[in-house]
Chains A and B, each alone.
Chain A
Amino acid sequence: MSHYTVAFAGNPNTGKSTLFNLLTGMRQHTGNWAGKTVITAEGEFTHNNHMYRAVDLPGTYSLYSNSADEEAARDYIIFEQPDVTLVVLDATSLERNLNLALQVLEITGRAVVCINLIDEARRLGIDINLKAISKRLGVPVVAISARNKIGIEALLDQVERVATGAFITDPMRIIYNDEIERGIAELTPMVEQMIGSKYPARWIALRLLDGDDSLLASLKENIKSKEVPEAKEVIGYGVTC
């Protein structure tokens, strides 16, 4: 029996915790991870003979705005590197919700997008083209209703495919303007040299260009053996807008 870790990410009020509770039932406990006091739930579930450890991340609109919740969610995805990050979206408010999905996909391709509240959306006359979204995002996209237990098996099948590597994801890569791309190209090799290939270098370079001090602090904390002062000097000459 294989063991995988699945992190649940999503905006507040998307039914993320409803799904989490549905899957883990009573088999959950309060989790906590190093350096942060943000408490979240952990649990377990099994599907097709695979055991999954489920981690419910704080509900956030973004991974960039520096609230403690967002930092915790971001740090978990980057440093704990779950086998699958399940991004739970609200079907009735996809535009806002896809923002977080894109941010997660910039960090990791090991993701499944779960469009929750699909029954609610249908009632509102919202038609969602899952195939088109999946094609654009490059990861599996499944529509469910956690509340009414619709689509759960199909969702878990996709989680399994990504976890086992049966589905090779091709996460959408956002191409920025020339100035930013130049900055990324300049910083990425330095980032790789300093922190190795284990972490998403392009994404970290992008955050450094954005002057994300909070990420820099987390990097220093999590990668204690290597210092990252040189990067900051580069940022000084980098993009400021």
Chain B
Amino acid sequence: MTETIIPLSEAKNGSILCISAIEVQGVLRRRLLDLGFVVGNIVEVLRRSPLGDPTAFRVSNTTIALRREESSMIYGELIGGVEA
């Protein structure tokens, strides 16, 4: 079986991931946790803005947009939607 853990920033639109790690530290980490980016939680990649950044994610029943700086530090396992 191939490794399917990728940063959220690399996930295609429509893909669904289970968060496996958050490499962000400090206050920003806290903020991401508060917004629902918690290990084990499910995230759906909704859409990207025209220039490719930021990206909108569906997490805990709310849409949150993250910049690549943050989304590249959050890792998830592809569990559905579009194949990478």
Which chain A residues lie closer than 8 Å to B60 at the CB level? 93, 95-96
Interface bracket on A: 10 to 19
- The distance from the CB of B19 to the nearest CB of chain A, in whole angstroms, is 13
Q: Are B61 and A62 in contact (CB under 8 A)?
A: no
Q: Is A76's CB within 8 Å of the partner chain B?
A: no
Total A-B pairs, Cβ < 8 A: 25
A238→B80 CA distance, assembly (Å): 41
CA distance A92 to B61 in the complex (A): 8
**Interface size for chain B: under 10, 10 to 19, 20 to 34, or 35 or more residues?**
under 10
Nearest A residue to B32 by beta-carbon distance?
A: A65
With an 8 A cutoff between CB atoms, is B3 at the interface?
no
- 16 A-B residue pairs with CB within 8 Å: A61-B35, A62-B31, A62-B34, A64-B30, A64-B34, A65-B27, A65-B31, A65-B34, A66-B27, A93-B62, A95-B36, A95-B60, A95-B61, A96-B36, A96-B60, A99-B34
CB <8 Å contact, B61 and A96: yes
- A95-B36, A96-B36 given as contacts; is B30 within 8 A of A65 (CB)? yes
Residues of B within 8 A of A66 (CB): 27
Interface centre among A61, A62, A65, A66 (most CB of B within 10 A): A65
State A64–B35 Cα separation when bound (angstroms): 12
Complex interface: chain A residues within 8 A of B35 (CB): 61, 96
Residue of B nearest to A211 (CB): B26
Would you give the shortest CB distance from A96 to chain B, in whole angstroms?
4
